[in-house]
Copies of this chain bind each other. A is one copy, B any other.
């Protein structure tokens, strides 16, 4: 196993095109969640990945399993439980100046009741990398505990841990989030965050470079990686600092999951031993291509990334 991730994945229901919920009569049914998105993106890049979670043992939970399995993600460590529900979210796709609108219906999901006892530590022990995110601790007390337990377990086994802060304003306040995440982040090797979230949660500097440097020191991690919207991303290690511009996406089809695709690209680069700027460019390319694909999932092949990083500009090949 190359990479194992742990977190919640949800049923995602969206009106087609730019319709609003106020007028739709059909909904597109997809599935997604930050950590399973990372697992899928890495699997399609050719890595062996697994995902840990807790799901209802009903047609919806089984369908989510099937979706992930279709992309090659190992789901043998997912805990299936009867009589619970799958977290759900509705998303209306806006078009500027109308923002996307998310309606969460995720309270009391099977995942929100996951506890340390549900974690397949034996699978984590066999992985080369563990990826977590800041959404899990927001789901409840037991989830907070298991996130810390998983990070600590991996660190003790000398398995690198990456962590995406992924702040969700609809789930908790910046204060709660900052306070809860701080001890977990102390156990992590690679930390991803939107620069804006880092400012809200940890009072990071408005200068991204300075922010990255200070946060890396504060959490004692090897890589502090900040994404800065159209300005791309910046990474800081004890030895180096690099910033790489984002690729331009003229007409984004679906932005959801772009950050997860970035994480996947950056992690893949680490596992291949690429230098810092190559890792950022890999992440940026994954993020840009993701935005052109409907759904949460980065259905991108290694060849497509290579061609993009090689600067190919073809409109079509035939």
Residues of A within 8 A of B (CB): 13, 16-30, 58-60, 62-63, 66-67, 69-72, 85-86, 88-92, 94-105, 107-108, 168-170, 247-251, 253, 255-256, 288-289, 292-295, 297, 299, 304, 308, 312, 314-318
Contact = CB atoms under 8 A, between A and B. Distances in A.
Nearest to A289: B98
Copies in the complex: 6
B28 A13 contact: no
B20 A59 contact: yes
A18 B62 CA distance: 18
Contact of A22 (B30, B63, B94, B248): B63
A242 B29 CA distance: 45
A294 B19 contact: yes
22 contacts: A13-B13, A18-B293, A19-B294, A20-B293, A23-B294, A23-B299, A27-B29, A60-B90, A66-B71, A66-B72, A69-B70, A70-B70, A94-B292, A95-B251, A96-B248, A96-B315, A97-B292, A98-B293, A99-B316, A100-B315, A100-B317, A255-B316
Nearest to A256: B316
Contact of A60 (B21, B30, B248): B21
B18 A253 contact: yes
A25 B26 CA distance: 10
A197 to B, nearest CB: 12
Contacts of A28: 25-26
A171 B67 CA distance: 30
A25 B292 CA distance: 18
A294 to B, nearest CB: 6
Closest 10 CB pairs of A and B: A100-B316, A70-B70, A102-B318, A21-B59, A66-B70, A98-B292, A95-B292, A22-B299, A18-B253, A99-B314
A255 to B, nearest CB: 6
Contact of A94 (B92, B102, B108, B316): B316
A96 B250 contact: yes
A289 B95 CA distance: 9
A85 to B, nearest CB: 5
Nearest to A68: B70
Contacts of A100: 315-317
Contacts of A304: 98
